[in-house]
Amino acid sequence: MFEALGNKLQDILDRVGRESKLTEAQVKATMREIRMALLEADVNFNTAKDFVARVSEKAVGQEVQGSLSAGQTIVKLVHDELIETLGGESKQPTLKNDGNVWFMVGLQGAGKTTSTGKLAAFYKGKGRRVLLVAADTQRPAARDQLEVLSKQVGVPVLKVNDGETPQETKGRLDEYLKKDFRDLVIVDTAGRLQIDEALMDQLADLKAELAPTETLLVVDAMTGQEALNVARVFDERVSLSGLIITKMDGDARGGAALSARSVTGKPIYFAGTSEKLAGLEPFYPDRVAGRILGMGDVLGLIERAEQADLKAMEVKKPGEFDLEDLLLQLRQIRKMGPLGDLLKLIPGMSRALPEGFNVDEAQIQRIDAMISSMTLKERHNPKIIDGRRRKRIAAGSGVEVQDINRLLKMHEQMKDMMKMLQRFSGPGGKGMGPG
Ligand code: GDP
């Protein structure tokens, strides 16, 4: 998700991030490019306009701070604004100890039934006693589909009968809950192909009877801005509390997710990321912003790093991040867990690695071997590694000279990325990366 927008923004910010001073004209040009990138990603016109206006305003008023250059300041402002636009603090549906009734609403095909099953699995995993109510009497197969999902998850399901009134449904639900304690009831309501009055009346009637504590709209990311028009209409009629955006895995642009908060005023609670039951993630604006800008999941890395002895991670200044540091980091990280996942958490690493690069143990061992074949002097000052030295190192580690070239380039890119990331830790700040 967000690949297209991410690549564009990263290119723009890579360029500007290197500048120590920026003229007003350069800032303006950059803002124009960012606005274009947002619009191409199908971000709502006003959302994109406001985004750029806020960044510009702060950029103009902002003294270049501390160790940050002008370019880095812009990168930081864009990053912060992305988080705000995505909703700021991560929000989750309210869960009381008991009596939680959640409505799942949305158009047919949005992924409502699938998401109902996913939520059941998610909250069952958190120790909740979930009951599903199959109330989508509109789509012929929906109730059977939910029954299949309920079996997979291992939670009971109450199926609404054809022609049943909301009062009757309420009565049957109360009966059920008397016999079997359930603290979270998730109701898969009827969808339609389009918004129509009959649907809204039906939902409003059921809502009046069941008095849900949360009303979650399921929207399909692939439908872009249309998803948010749908949200507005649903909100007017049945008052939404939050959104679940599905099919983020198929949406390289991300316009719906980026505009959702500002267009609808509702938080995104979850993102659907696959057809499978496990394909549902709580939505963290800060982590998503980091991913869009290719900064790696710094928080995720810190969480794991805190569990390991990470002396090797402490790099004094990005400019001093040499090959010896890289070697120590790689070795430290290998002790920390599944390599593929971890490597992608290192800021800059996902970009520095070639497209389709498969992170495997053998490849890391090769990097280790290459750096180990260098003298300490070379590791501390890679600039001295000329053609002759490259040949020697390649021979010593059993690789081609091209592999050495690639390693040195990767190291350069990591250094650049670390310079940009310096702001995350700040002077005396906590965190991975130079501080
Ligand atoms: P409903 O009519 O809203 O209940 O839609 P369904 O739950 O039946 O989903 C419609 C289609 O979208 C199904 O083929 C689902 O497997 C698929 N789907 C739902 N959520 C996701 C998702 O997050 N990612 C992907 N790739 N497919 C999804």
Q: Are residues 276 and 360 in the same domain?
A: no
pLDDT in tens, 47-76: 999 999 999 988 876 655 555 677 778 888
CATH number of domain containing 352: 1.10.260.30
Tokens of 183: 């603290």
Distance 118 CA to ligand 1 centre (A): 11
Q: Are residues 169 and 114 in the same domain?
A: yes
Whole-number Å distance between alpha carbons of 427 and 163: 66
Determine which residue's CA is closest to atom 27 belonging to ligand 1. Answer: 275
Of 183, 190, 175, give the one whose Cα is nearest residue 103: 190
**Better pLDDT: 224 or 179:** 179
Residue 289 lies in a domain: no
Distance 263 CA to ligand 1 centre (A): 23
42 annotated ligand binder: no
Q: Are residues 272 and 307 in the same domain?
A: no
Q: Are residues 343 and 398 in the same domain?
A: yes
In terms of DSSP bridges, do strands 280-282 and 268-272 run parallel, antiparallel, or are they unpaired? Answer: antiparallel
Distance 321 CA to ligand 1 centre (A): 46
> Of all atoms in ligand 1, which is nearest to the CA of residue 139?
2
In which domain, by residue range, is 193 found? 100-283
Q: Are residues 131 and 238 in the same domain?
A: yes
- Regarding the beta carbon of 108 and ligand 1, being less than 6 Å apart is answered yes
CATH number of domain containing 206: 3.40.50.300
pLDDT in tens, 344-399: 666 666 566 555 555 567 777 889 999 999 999 999 999 999 999 999 999 999 99
| β-sheet bridge partners, residue 159 | 134
Q: Are residues 279 and 362 in the same domain?
A: no
> Of all atoms in ligand 1, which is nearest to the CA of residue 273?
23
What is the three-class DSSP state of 383?
A: helix
pLDDT in tens, 130-184: 999 999 988 889 999 999 999 999 999 999 999 999 999 999 999 999 999 999 9
Q: Given pLDDT bands bounded at 50, 70 and 90, which one contains residue 433? A: very low
Which alpha helices (DSSP H) does 281-400 contain, by range? 285-292, 298-305, 323-334, 339-345, 349-352, 361-372, 376-380, 387-397
Residue 290 lies in a domain: no
Please, which contacts does 328-333 make with residues 24 or more away whose CB atoms are closer than 8 Å? 330/364, 330/367, 330/368, 331/368, 332/308
Distance 207 CA to ligand 1 centre (A): 24
Whole-number Å distance between alpha carbons of 186 and 178: 17
Distance 110 CA to ligand 1 centre (A): 6
What is the three-class DSSP state of 268?
A: strand
- Regarding the beta carbon of 116 and ligand 1, being less than 6 Å apart is answered no
What is the model's pTM? 0.72
Instruction: Count how many domains the chain has.
Output: 3
Tokens of 407: 């390693």
> Of all atoms in ligand 1, which is nearest to the CA of residue 271?
23
Q: Give the CA dihedral 341, 344, 350, 352, nearest 10 degrees.
A: -110
Distance 354 CA to ligand 1 centre (A): 32
Determine which residue's CA is closest to atom 12 belonging to ligand 1. Answer: 111
- Regarding the beta carbon of 423 and ligand 1, being less than 6 Å apart is answered no
**Of 283, 305, 336, which one is at a domain's C-terminal end?**
283
Please, which contacts does 203-210 make with residues 24 or more away whose CB atoms are closer than 8 Å? 203/103, 203/105, 203/237, 203/238, 204/237, 204/238, 205/166, 206/103, 206/135, 206/166, 206/169, 207/103, 207/238, 208/166, 209/166, 209/167, 209/169, 209/170, 210/101, 210/103, 210/166, 210/169, 210/170, 210/173
Token look-up 């389709």 returns 356
pLDDT for the residue numbered 121: 95
Token look-up 């890289």 returns 326
CATH number of domain containing 63: 1.20.120.140
Cα 78 versus chain centre, distance? 16
pLDDT for the residue numbered 434: 37
- Regarding the beta carbon of 109 and ligand 1, being less than 6 Å apart is answered yes
Residue 432 lies in a domain: no
pLDDT in tens, 225-268: 888 989 999 999 999 999 999 999 888 788 999 999 999 999 99
pLDDT for the residue numbered 149: 96
**Better pLDDT: 22 or 117:** 117
- φ, ψ dihedrals at 272, nearest 5°: -85, 130
Residue 386 lies in a domain: yes
> Of all atoms in ligand 1, which is nearest to the CA of residue 116?
7
Average pLDDT, integer, range 301-330: 64
Q: Are 276 and 60 in contact (CB under 8 A)?
A: no
Residue 8 lies in a domain: yes
What is the three-class DSSP state of 244?
A: strand
Determine which residue's CA is closest to atom 28 belonging to ligand 1. Answer: 275
Give the contacts of 398 (CB within 8 A, at least 6 positions apart): 369
- Regarding the beta carbon of 272 and ligand 1, being less than 6 Å apart is answered yes
